[in-house]
Amino acid sequence: IQTADLQIHESTSVDLTSIGSPEISSSHELVVIYSKGQGGAALLTPTKSSPTDNYGKTWNIPLDSGESRIHIFSEDSNQIQIESNSNSETYYAIDSQEFRTSVSFTHQFTLTQPDVIRITTSTLSQLILQTEVDNLSGSTSLISQDGNHLGHRFIAPSLEGKMEFSNPGSDSVTVTWRGGGTSIAALGTTSVAWPPAGINGAPMLDADGDIFATWKVSNQGNSGEGIHLIPAADTGASSGIQHEITIEDDGQVHSLSISRAGSSSDWNITGDSELEGSIDSQVQNVMQAISSGTFRMNITEGHPVKVHHLSGESGLTQAVHDGAQRCTSVNMMASGWITVVLPWDSLSGQEDLKIRQAWKNGDFPASIMMTLIGHNGASTHSNLATSWVFHLSRLAYSFSSSITGMEVAYSGGAIVTNHPEFTPTIIREPVDRSGPGPRFAATIPSLHPVTEGVIGGGSLTLDIELTSRESLASDIAYEVRRGWSEPYGSAIASDSSDGLELSEDWAVYPGRLDLLTDYVGWVPDPSIGTSEAVWHTSGVPIQFSLQISSLDVLMQEVIG
């Protein structure tokens, strides 16, 4: 076991040559990049991705000494700030105003020692890191403007190499760009030299059907080495239960890295050769040698997997958290509640201790972010909605009463009782949230229970520490919902709609959000059996931001 202590904006390198199945765990979130041989190229995930399209504005990139290069591409003009431990520089990438052309920016680093580079852009962008700058190695799968690998609109990099288009559908697809285009047969793959001649910037790709796009280096017309993700054909995202695989006959040694995106999986590969295998909860990934040809990989039992293609002895890819990007096909049309099996082993009926242990070691999520992917206009795989599910602390106060089982509980940011005829007064909301800049307000129950009163009292000292504050999302939204688990969920949802009783539209048409024009705010979900509230905006988009904070509180009674 190797350990390392890292401060903010510090990095370290670990040689994995002698480690059979490496596993990395950390007390805080890390950026982890795997490099093989001479390195390669990888599309890096932003520090905070936009829920709509998975573009971003900030990156923290650990770089080793030597030469490396970043390539940033965006739809609009960009201001790019690059910071290191020694200096800070600002650059500008201006839109050329050419038809069907976006903005690109390339910057090369020559470092004498390892560093963490911080990059900030003024507009939503994508970033490719190249640690091999001689065009001998590098390949990476692109993300469409709809937020997934499968799509019909892409902003492509203007890096020298070739672009490979894959069509997982049953009909041929035509993809075009400024001054050119090509067709991809059903279940076929086509490659073109890149970038197209006469384009000053990042080419925009438009297809009449959904495709995958992968950029690869091309060394004087010869295929280079590299590592890239093979997205799933069934989900259009990074993992799934079906993958269409095409391996070139280019003289390189090829293999597949199959990583579990769940607990366990059995798989087979059919096509020009037949292969099968499995992966269980004790193994994170397995390597599978493969020859040139066309193949289809299916999960016969178990959870989805993630597949990377390794070509040659060099390449680069970014590692993600073990619980991230576990994608499952729903494949149904619904207008109400549906049940989906998540790619984790169920803990239903388990003891609280086992559940807490599963949270701690990562076998089961203590919180989860889910993105719903579906049809939107011409795209079949657009990010439609994002939800966050997490646990909030709960404090319960019980006391003697003529009411059997009387309880006052602090749950999900609200104070409630199990008898609605009583009004709890133990905890009150903050009296003031005014002031310049973002404000954070929290209520901390700090009264010591006493037998003489109904509220409490005492002389206490408080030590309050804001241990973490994280922004989960900030984006334009057309509908926001929030809900709570029972038994208090419905009461909290109803209580949040302060002022709704004054609405004439709601009094005349109760439950009709489409006819509610004289009220803006939280409205209890009119569906039957829900404990949710909907932020009603009459169809007007709003700026939605979601943050989660954690407070540590030490409360002590003052003696004497």
Q: In the 8-state DSSP scheme, what is residue 357?
A: H
Query: Distance between alpha carbon 282 and the CA centroid of its chain, in Å?
Result: 25
Q: Measured in Å, how far apart are the chain's first and last C-alpha atoms? A: 51
How many CB atoms are closer than 10 A to CB 298?
A: 15
**What's the pTM value of the predicted model, to 2 decimals?**
0.83
Residue 378 maps to a domain = no
Q: Nearest Cα to 244, choosing from 180, 153, 160, 165?
A: 165
How many CB atoms neighbour CB 33 within 10 A?
Answer: 19
Chain-centroid distance, C-alpha 374: 16
Asked whether residue 463 is assigned to any structural domain, the reply reads: yes
Q: What angle do CA 67, 72, 78 make, to 5 degrees?
A: 130
Q: Give the other-Cβ count within 10 Å of 259's Cβ.
A: 19
Closest residue by Cα to residue 42 from 26, 57, 27, 59: 59
Quick check: is 530 in a domain?
Answer: yes
> Which of 286, 319, 352 is at the close of a domain?
319
| Domain limit, last residue, from 319, 338, 356 | 319
φ/ψ (deg, to 5) at 216: -135, 150
Q: How far is CA 171 from CA 174, 176, 187, 377, 379, in A?
A: 10, 16, 8, 18, 15
58 and 46 Cβ atoms separated by less than 8 Å: yes
What is the tens place of the pLDDT at every residue in 61-94? 999 999 999 999 999 999 999 999 888 999 999 9
Is 366:359 a contact under the CB 8 Å cutoff? yes
Band (pLDDT 50/70/90 cuts) for residue 401 is: low
CA distance linking residue 492 with residue 348, whole number of Å: 25
Distances in Å between the alpha carbon of 410 and those of 289, 496, 557?
56, 15, 22
pLDDT tier for residue 425 given thresholds of 50, 70 and 90: very low
Looking at the domain assignment, is residue 394 inside a domain? no
Which stretch of DSSP H or E encloses residue 180?
strand 180-184
Does a structural domain hold residue 457?
Answer: yes
- Does some domain include residue 197? yes
Which pLDDT belongs to residue 424? 47
Give the lowest-confidence range in 32-46, 138-152, 244-258, 544-558: 544-558
Among 299, 319, 339, identify where a domain stops: 319
Contact 345, 364 (CB under 8 A): yes
**pLDDT tens, residue by residue, 262-318:** 888 999 999 988 999 999 888 888 999 999 999 999 999 999 999 999 999 999 999
Q: Residue 547 region, left (φ>0) first, then alpha (ψ -120 to 50), else beta?
A: beta
Q: Which of 247, 215, 243, 236 is nearest to 307 (CA)?
A: 243
Tokens of 354: 């086992």
| Residue 358 backbone phi and psi in degrees, to 5 | -65, -40
In a domain, 5, yes or no: no
Residues in the chain: 560
Q: Which helix (H) or strand (E) holds 386?
A: strand 379-390
Expressed as residue numbers, the domain containing 513 is 440-557
Specify if 311 maps to a domain: yes
**Which residues in 399-459 belong to E strands, given as ranges?**
407-411, 414-417
Q: How many domains does the chain have?
A: 2
- Higher-confidence residue of 420 and 158: namely 158
290, β-bridge pairs:
none
Which of 9-18, 286-295, 340-349, 419-428 shows the lowest mean pLDDT across its residues? 419-428
Average pLDDT over residues 502-524: 87
CA distances 70 to 104, 318, 525, Å, are 11, 14, 47
Same domain, residue pair 51 and 195:
yes
In this structure, the answer to whether residues 314 and 451 fall within a common structural domain is: no
